Amino acid sequence: MGLTEDRERFREVGESRREDLAEFISRGDLGGSDAERIRIPIKVVDLPAFEYDQRAAGGVGQGGDGQPQPGQPVEPEPDDGDEAGDPGEEGGDHEYYEMDPEEFARELDEALGLDLEPKGKRVVEEVEGDFTDTARAGPRGTLDVDEFFKRGLKRHLATDFDEAYVREGLFVDGADVDDVFAWARGKGIPVSRAWIADAAATLEDERGEPVAALDRWESFDALDAELDREPVTHRIRREGLESVPFRREDERFRHPEVIEKRERNVVVINVRDASGSMRETKRELVERVFTPMDWYLTGKYDAAEFRYVVHDAEAWEVDREEFFGVQSGGGTRISSAYDLAEEILEEYPYSEWNRYVFAAGDSENAGSDTTNNVIPTMESIDANLQAYVETQPGDGAANARHADEVEEAFGDADDVAVARVTEPDDVTDAIYEILSTESAEGADAGGAARRTDGGGSR
């Protein structure tokens, strides 16, 4: 079966596909995958196919010539290799569907109902967009003619006035230039005193008498009662617009909009307790939680970097291959790992990176280290999300208090999650608990309802 057929088959199985994914995360062989390709086993049921071979001599009966006689019992002949055995002893055959982290993230979103939308952080490129920005200087060829005209027209409309109406004020009995200027400005007409003085001089030349002697109106109130000034827009519609008084300051030049392309990037600090109490079963539970989350975040972000820290009473950085296997015989001081994580995060400014700190262990810690040291350090770390996963099979230990103390300190904070895993079946609940805390819609009613019966609920 080719890759295309595998892909189509995997898509057709619907709900069983999600069950396969959840079972793979909880109990499958995670080592069969790597950071770029995840191999999900698909359960295969092969139905028997019956074929009739005309070349076969005789039948299956007991007749003398190979022909069955009526009433004779049929006794099948055993095939070579048939062996006695109880039904179901053999493991089922599997096919594998390979997916990249992007597809894994989509499948996990669908399977668990997650809704994580990564944030763009680091500016990786500035590109030129459409010519939508303007500036007061630029090449003549980029002059925004429309904007130039609009600015000039706006000024024209703001400074124009009904000249005939203002000139009529000079015909008020006894009014001089100052009286007309005060009357016009009182009505909000944008006319200058010099313009009124020029108009008065023209009238005096035409009539041969001073404007104070013109007495068409006995008062300004009488003039206003008879005449209305015409709005400039009405006059433009009637007479048209002969010219617009453009000025140099009206010029605007088009420039392309500068668009910042931000990379959705993330750094994940994975922290694990490597002290003597972290036996193989506990370490396996850590791997089952952290590995799918690494795949998921790799698929969600454009760029993802992972750093791995292990600790007993002291902390040190390791590579991924060492992370899940290393064990020491020392005691436990979890704060040493957070001190190192905080130091590593200095390489990834929060303004440019999405940051996650995921820690796991059996919740055993030295003395009051959690209260006095770990919690204050967690509070000082700027991160999208911090999480602690308690891996404590069985009834746990009396001094396994770290998860409880972190939970009590941060309550329902939207950037701190606590999950508990006692067996592989709790793994998907723990992953949901952690990732849904970061998700904008991860705490909806449906998501909360499906967590009520799992060991991973907060």
Predicted confidence (pLDDT) per residue in 267-322, tens digit: 999 999 999 889 999 999 999 999 999 999 999 998 899 999 999 999 999 999 89
Residue found by looking up tokens 């409309």 in the block: 157
pLDDT at 165: 87
- In the predicted structure, residue 15 carries a pLDDT above the cut 90: no
Contact 420, 410 (CB under 8 A): no
> Residue 46's pLDDT band (boundaries 50, 70, 90)?
very low
> Residue 112's pLDDT band (boundaries 50, 70, 90)?
confident
- In the predicted structure, residue 442 carries a pLDDT above the cut 50: no
Selected residue with higher pLDDT from 302 and 334: 334
Cα 198 → chain centroid: 68
N residues, the chain: 458
As a whole number of angstroms, the distance between CA 21 and CA 30 comes to: 12
Please state which of the ranges 66-70, 86-90, 156-160, 448-452 shows the lowest mean pLDDT. Answer: 448-452
pLDDT at 4: 56
* Domain(s) of CATH 3.40.50.410: residues in the chain: 263-439
Percent of the chain with pLDDT over 90: 33
Residue found by looking up tokens 């230039």 in the block: 177
pTM of the model: 0.58
- In the predicted structure, residue 77 carries a pLDDT above the cut 60: no
3-state DSSP assignment of residue 109 = helix
Contact 451, 429 (CB under 8 A): yes
Contact 359, 389 (CB under 8 A): yes
Measured in Å, how far apart are the chain's first and last C-alpha atoms? 44
Q: How far is CA 361 from CA 279, 284, 401, 404, 417, in A?
A: 10, 11, 11, 13, 14
Q: What is the CATH code of the structural domain delimited by 263-439?
A: 3.40.50.410
pLDDT at 419: 95
User: Which has the closest alpha carbon to 218: 166, 169, 275?
Assistant: 169
Contacts 24+ apart (CB under 8 A), 204-211: 211/170, 211/171, 211/175, 211/176, 211/177
pLDDT at 360: 96
Handedness of CA 437, 119, 300, 325 (dihedral sign): negative
pLDDT at 81: 43
- In the predicted structure, residue 251 carries a pLDDT above the cut 80: no
Mean pLDDT, residues 16-31: 78
3-state DSSP assignment of residue 195 = helix
User: Which has the closest alpha carbon to 36: 308, 298, 290?
Assistant: 298
> Residue 263's pLDDT band (boundaries 50, 70, 90)?
confident
3-state DSSP assignment of residue 168 = helix
- In the predicted structure, residue 95 carries a pLDDT above the cut 50: yes
pLDDT at 452: 32
- In the predicted structure, residue 36 carries a pLDDT above the cut 60: yes
User: Which has the closest alpha carbon to 432: 320, 292, 300, 281?
Assistant: 292
- In the predicted structure, residue 335 carries a pLDDT above the cut 90: yes
Selected residue with higher pLDDT from 17 and 291: 291
3-state DSSP assignment of residue 361 = strand
Contact 23, 428 (CB under 8 A): no
For 134, which DSSP code?
E
pLDDT at 131: 56
> Residue 339's pLDDT band (boundaries 50, 70, 90)?
very high
Selected residue with higher pLDDT from 261 and 55: 261
pLDDT at 448: 34
As a whole number of angstroms, the distance between CA 442 and CA 433 comes to: 9
Mean pLDDT, residues 231-251: 65
Ramachandran bin of 32, using left for φ above 0, alpha for ψ from -120 to 50, beta for the remaining angles: alpha
> Residue 404's pLDDT band (boundaries 50, 70, 90)?
very high
